[in-house]
């Protein structure tokens, strides 16, 4: 089977892979957008996790070929790549925040889908489903999941292509040409230094213009709020979320008997979004005042939401092999180092409220946050 992808062109699949793609579980990914509500800002960003999954398989395969990994090993890595996001549900980012304690992380859900659904049967013809999941914990898992892995390379390029932002920035071709695998570490040769930098620059630009775009954050915050209302009121059961598509979630919200969930849902459908009344950098100093700000703002405008910036847990870590030694990329590259600071600087807390309360909330926020 061949699928034509807008990014990588024709991608070939084995019979087994075709079997997995044909399952209902996998087809579900067609109805889950890679970038959730981002299309409210970049209308072309309608690409799905389905596309990303097959693109990740493709890039993983190219890395395997470069590293000389063949046969069963390669096949299992391809399968892992294909299934690495199978645990993602609609609006993963928002639902995980709310539901991860109930239903587990998307990795946990993914593992269960691989072992407990028809996907297990398909894989079972050739491998133990567990063998595929285990790749994630083995050194070869880096081919998919590390900072120079296929997952990141595919989604950055795909998101760039579909938003129209900074497309072509990442020199994937070159990265794949310069990867090495040694002592259990997937890294990049010195000759690929600029290509690795291009990846992190691409990531930074996507981060600051797309992933952290204020309007995207607003829509995301509103969605999370609506979901909370709907789940708390029992209108949506946590386990249901596992099988809903993006649009089904939205429709469940707008038809919710919970008034708040309904209103928020309808506003999202109409793109009637909340506004940023104020924003500030997170620091020990500002953090202290957050509670006071929340209370004061809620009094003026009960709908106020303080949207916290994403905390990226793991710092980027790419090993570079120079003539004599291995070094971390951020030790070698001033540029990469500074991207970290630049990224931190752009992480702001947003104070959101309805249009009609914007002025008041803005004034109150200034009073509290700017006082000596």
Q: Which is nearer to a copy of itself, 116 or 128 (CB)?
A: 116
Helix (H, G, I), strand (E, B) or coil at 187: strand
- For a copy of itself (CB under 8 A), the number of binding residues is 65
Please tell me the distance from the alpha carbon of residue 35 to that of residue 52, in angstroms, as a whole number: 11
- The torsion angles phi and psi of 12, rounded to 5 degrees, stand at -95, 150
Stretch that binds a copy of itself, among 122-130, 268-276, 293-301, 355-363 (CB under 8 A): 268-276
Q: Which is nearer to a copy of itself, 205 or 290 (CB)?
A: 205
Stretch that binds a copy of itself, among 129-137, 337-345, 347-355, 364-372 (CB under 8 A): 337-345
Q: What is the rounded end-to-end Cα distance, in angstroms, of the chain?
A: 66
Please tell me the distance from the alpha carbon of residue 224 to that of residue 180, in angstroms, as a whole number: 41
What secondary structure does DSSP assign to 49-80, as a single string?
HHHHHHHHHHHHHHHHHHHT--HHHHHHHHHH
Sketch the per residue contact string, 214 through 253, with a copy of itself: x for CB under 8 A, - otherwise: -------------------------------xxxx--x--
Kindly state whether residue 282 participates in binding a copy of itself, applying the rule CB under 8 A: no
Among 46, 237, 322, 370, binds a copy of itself (CB under 8 A): 46
What is the smallest separation between the CB atom of 294 and a copy of itself, expressed in angstroms? 25
Kindly state whether residue 37 participates in binding a copy of itself, applying the rule CB under 8 A: no
Kindly state whether residue 370 participates in binding a copy of itself, applying the rule CB under 8 A: no
What secondary structure does DSSP assign to 222-271, as a single string?
HHHHHHHHHHHTTSS-GGGGGG--HHHHHHHHHT-SSHHHHHHHHHHHHT
- The torsion angles phi and psi of 93, rounded to 5 degrees, stand at -55, -50
Among 16, 169, 298, 308, binds a copy of itself (CB under 8 A): 169
CA nearest to 292, candidates 368, 370, 372: 368
The two tokens of residue 19 are: 């079997």
Among 14, 15, 18, 30, binds a copy of itself (CB under 8 A): 30
What is the smallest separation between the CB atom of 8 and a copy of itself, expressed in angstroms? 8
Kindly state whether residue 47 participates in binding a copy of itself, applying the rule CB under 8 A: yes
Please tell me the distance from the alpha carbon of residue 68 to that of residue 64, in angstroms, as a whole number: 6
84: exposed, middle or buried (C-beta count within 10 Å: 0-12, 13-18, 19+)? buried
Q: Which of residues 67-96 bind a copy of itself (CB under 8 A)?
A: none
Kindly state whether residue 20 participates in binding a copy of itself, applying the rule CB under 8 A: no
Stretch that binds a copy of itself, among 81-89, 105-113, 170-178, 275-283 (CB under 8 A): 170-178
Q: Which of residues 172-201 bind a copy of itself (CB under 8 A)?
A: 173-174, 177, 194, 197-198, 201
Pairing of strands 348-353, 319-321: unpaired
Helix (H, G, I), strand (E, B) or coil at 8: coil
Please tell me the distance from the alpha carbon of residue 181 to that of residue 73, in angstroms, as a whole number: 14
Kindly state whether residue 341 participates in binding a copy of itself, applying the rule CB under 8 A: yes
What is the smallest separation between the CB atom of 130 and a copy of itself, expressed in angstroms? 26
Among 1, 102, 185, 269, binds a copy of itself (CB under 8 A): 269
Pairing of strands 305-307, 179-182: unpaired
Kindly state whether residue 5 participates in binding a copy of itself, applying the rule CB under 8 A: yes
Kindly state whether residue 324 participates in binding a copy of itself, applying the rule CB under 8 A: no
What is the smallest separation between the CB atom of 248 and a copy of itself, expressed in angstroms? 6
What is the smallest separation between the CB atom of 46 and a copy of itself, expressed in angstroms? 4
Count CB neighbours of 288 within 10 A.
9
Contact between residue 78 and residue 61 where contact means Cβ atoms under 8 Å apart: yes
Kindly state whether residue 372 participates in binding a copy of itself, applying the rule CB under 8 A: no
Strand partners, 12: 2
Please tell me the distance from the alpha carbon of residue 231 to that of residue 365, in angstroms, as a whole number: 30
Binding site for a copy of itself (CB under 8 A): 2-7, 9-10, 12, 22, 24, 27, 30-31, 33, 39-40, 42-44, 46-48, 50-51, 54, 161-169, 171, 173-174, 177, 194, 197-198, 201, 204-205, 208-209, 245-248, 251, 269-272, 333-335, 337-339, 341-342, 345
């Amino acid at each position: 089977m061949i699928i034509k992808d807008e990014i990588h062109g024709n991608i070939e699949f084995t019979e087994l892979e075709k079997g997995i793609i044909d399952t209902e579980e996998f087809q579900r990914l067609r109805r889950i957008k890679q970038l959730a509500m981002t299309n409210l800002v970049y209308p072309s960003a309608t690409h799905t996790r389905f596309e990303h999954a097959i693109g990740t398989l493709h890039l993983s395969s190219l890395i395997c070929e470069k590293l000389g990994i063949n046969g069963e090993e390669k096949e299992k890595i391809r399968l892992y790549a294909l299934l690495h996001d199978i645990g993602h549900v609609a609006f993963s980012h928002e639902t995980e925040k709310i539901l991860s304690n109930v239903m587990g992380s998307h990795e946990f859900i993914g593992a269960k889908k691989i072992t407990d659904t028809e996907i297990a049967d398909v894989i079972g013809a050739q491998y133990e489903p567990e063998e595929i999941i285990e790749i994630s914990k083995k050194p070869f898992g880096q081919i998919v999941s590390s900072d120079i892995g296929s997952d990141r390379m595919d989604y950055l390029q795909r998101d760039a292509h579909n938003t129209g932002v900074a497309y072509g920035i990442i020199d994937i071709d070159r990265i794949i040409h310069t990867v090495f695998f040694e002592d259990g570490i997937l890294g990049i040769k010195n000759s690929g230094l600029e290509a690795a930098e291009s990846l992190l620059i691409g990531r930074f630009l996507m981060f600051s213009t797309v992933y952290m775009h204020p309007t995207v954050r607003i829509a995301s915050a509103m969605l999370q709020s609506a979901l909370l209302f709907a789940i708390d009121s029992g209108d949506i059961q946590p386990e249901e979320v596992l099988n809903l598509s993006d649009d089904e979630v939205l429709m469940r919200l707008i038809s919710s008997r919970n008034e708040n969930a309904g209103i928020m849902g309808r506003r999202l459908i109409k793109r009637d979004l909340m506004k940023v009344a104020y924003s500030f950098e997170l620091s020990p100093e500002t953090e202290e005042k957050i509670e006071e700000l929340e209370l004061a703002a809620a009094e003026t405008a009960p709908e106020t939401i303080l949207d916290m910036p994403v905390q990226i847990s793991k710092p980027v870590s790419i090993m570079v092999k120079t003539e004599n030694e291995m070094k971390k990329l951020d030790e070698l590259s001033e540029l990469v180092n500074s991207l970290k600071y630049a990224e931190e600087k752009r992480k702001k807390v947003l104070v959101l409220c309805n249009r009609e309360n914007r002025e008041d909330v803005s004034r109150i926020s200034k009073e509290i946050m700017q006082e000596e």
